[in-house]
Amino acid sequence: MIIITTVLAIALFMYSASIFLYLYRILKGPTTSDKVVALDSIGMNLVAIVALLSMLLDTNAYLDVILLIALLAFIGTVSFAKFVEKGKVIERERDN
Amino acid sequence: MKTNDVLLRNVTKVVVFIIFLFSLHLFLAGHYNPGGGFVAGLISAGAVTLTLIAYDSQTVRSMLNINTIMMTGVGLLFAVGTGMIGILTGDPFLTHKFGHVDLPILGDTSLHTATIFDLGVYLVVVGVTLTIIQTIGESD
């Protein structure tokens, strides 16, 4: 049991360090696309952290949160990508 | 410049159904597990938002022609109506009924009128969110 806790703590530390590195990319990113990709990756790291926390706390009440964060990160990234490409997220009428 | 969002549109066609199923699961699991009408409504609105992003607002309107403001009103009617069940049987307002019902196919099922109240919450959340998103999205 103590081994599992130690391994989970090490993994959590590494994912948090990864989030800090992505934060550096968000702050220093030269273009908007760099920041959007970094934000999406932070979302995926949050998924991993919630999964590790639910293992650490020995509960499966957080498993819905994992799917929820993944869906929200996907929708957010798609809308940011459309904004970067077209300047408008929701179009009134499409020409093609 | 003409763009062709084949990847985005095909992924959307698959993912929207997964999101709706997830929302249905959260709605029905809300009594015994984390979830409920609020989160389910927000996730359903997220699915419609994804189709709004992948297509345009006219296409989405032709796909599901829903008056979202009317939807909000119907949700509020559901919420008040479940409260009236308590009054009609002589109990205080919003007294809920529950019990085991023998349904034809599903068998012995535990039903609770709080589900109808939750359906009202769901409809209100979906209606308000979609009204906000569509109103802001269509203003030039």
CB contact under 8 A, B53 and A78: yes
Please check the confidence at residue A53 and state whether its pLDDT lies above 90.
yes
pLDDT at A41 over 70: yes
Partner-chain contact A78 B8, CB within 8 Å: yes
Q: How far B124 CA sits from the closest chain A CA (Å)?
A: 20
Q: How confident is the model at residue A40 (pLDDT cuts 50, 70, 90)?
A: very high
Longest dimension (CA), chain A: 61
> What phi and psi values does residue B101 have, to the nearest 5 degrees?
-120, 140
Residue with tokens 């039903």: B111
Residue A79 CB partners (closer than 8 Å, separation 6+): A89, B49, B53
Strand partners, B100: B110
Q: Are the beta carbons of A90 and B133 separated by less than 8 Å?
A: yes
pLDDT exceeds cutoff 90 at B112: no
Domain borders along chain B are 5-138
Domain boundaries, chain A: 1-86
SS3 B100: strand
**CA angle, residues B27, A48, A8, in degrees to nearest 5:** 120
Nearest chain B CA: its distance from A93 CA (Å)? 6
How much is the pLDDT for B2? 66
- CA–CA separation, A64 and A29 (whole Å): 32
